[in-house]
Amino acid sequence: MKRIRSNIFPEVLKLDQGATGKNAAFRDGLKKHLGIRVELAAPKNDRLADNQSMGKVERRFRTLWQRFELKLAYKLKKKGVDVITLEDLNVLAHNYATQLLNQAHPYKNQTH
């Protein structure tokens, strides 16, 4: 199999210490076929963990997804929709995230 060359792929993919990041076949396949090197963040008990922690980023995405997923499930159920394509789901998730980013922060105008 030929290696895919493209400028759309990152040179490095940083992952946490989960099963995917530790999977040698996954890491080797990314490197061999896409030219992507995998770097693992420091484990929780490592002294570098504070600087390399993935938890802060992962938590925000988990919160975003949980809020999006619950609202979407309710709307789809109300409309009687049982199946949605991945393409439609991606568009809805993008629109939801964009809407959140455009909202004013609730504490921005408060003075202390």
Q: Are residue 40 and residue 62 in the same domain, yes or no?
A: no
Q: Are residue 47 and residue 75 in the same domain, yes or no?
A: no
User: Quick check: 52 pLDDT over 60?
Assistant: no
Q: Are residue 61 and residue 97 in the same domain, yes or no?
A: yes
Q: Are residue 40 and residue 70 in the same domain, yes or no?
A: no
Handedness of CA 12, 18, 24, 25 (dihedral sign): negative
pTM: 0.42
- Using one digit for the tens of pLDDT, what is the confidence trace for 79-98? 998 888 888 888 888 888 88
Give the residue numbers spanning the domain of 23: 12-52
In this predicted structure, what is the pLDDT of residue 53? 58
In a domain, 96, yes or no: yes
Q: Are residue 18 and residue 31 in the same domain, yes or no?
A: yes
In a domain, 27, yes or no: yes
In a domain, 62, yes or no: yes
Report how far apart, in Å, the C-alpha atoms of 26 and of each of 20, 31, 42, 81, 88 are: 7, 9, 19, 35, 28
In this predicted structure, what is the pLDDT of residue 28? 92
How many domains, the chain? 2
In this predicted structure, what is the pLDDT of residue 25? 93
Q: What angle is formed at CA 75 by the lines to CA 69 and CA 80, rounded to 5 degrees?
A: 120
